Amino acid sequence: MIKTILIVDDEPSILETLSEVFRKLGWRVYTAGNAEEAILEFKQHTPTLVLTDLRLKDSIGGVGICKEIKNIAPLTMVIAMTGFGSEAYTVSNLRRKGFDHIMRKPVALSELEIMVLIVARCRETWNSLEKLSRGHS
C-alpha cells in the first residue's frame, strides 16, 4: 500500500518543509494552501492521511476541512496542527469535531514522524481487518 498524505497549511514554508520530510520517508505528498484546494486535492487523490493547520485564512479552516473529509471518507485519518490553546482548541473538543489526533505548534518533526507512522500503521491494520471481515461474510 502506498502511503499518501495531504498537507494543508497557508504558510508555504511549512508546506515545503513538511512535504520534504514526508517524501524522504517514502510518502506520496499532496499539498494545499487553503480549504478549497484541500477538498479538491482530497477528492482527486483520496490520501490515507490528512495533516492540516487549524487556522487557515479562509472561512472554514481546518475544522471545516475535517468535516468535509469525514463526510466523504469517514475512515480517513485527520491530524490537526495548532498553535492556539484556547478552549475552542482543546483536544476533547477537536476530537468531537472528527480529528484523530491534535499536535501543538511548533511541532517537533521527530514527534510528527512518529505520530504519522502510528496513524499509518493503524490504518493498515484497519484495512486488513476489513478485508478479513469481508472474506467471512
- 12-33 pLDDT, tens digit per residue, is 999 999 999 999 988 999 999 9
Domain range 4-135, its CATH number among 3.30.460.80, 3.40.50.2300, 3.40.50.2020, 3.10.590.10? 3.40.50.2300
Question: Residue ranges per domain, the chain?
Answer: 4-135
Handedness of CA 90, 91, 97, 103 (dihedral sign): positive
Q: Report the pLDDT value the prediction gives residue 137, as an integer from 0 to 100.
A: 54
pTM listed for this prediction: 0.83
Buried b (16+ CB within 10 A) or exposed e, 86-96: eeebeeeebee
For the chain, report the end-to-end CA distance as a whole number of angstroms.
Answer: 24
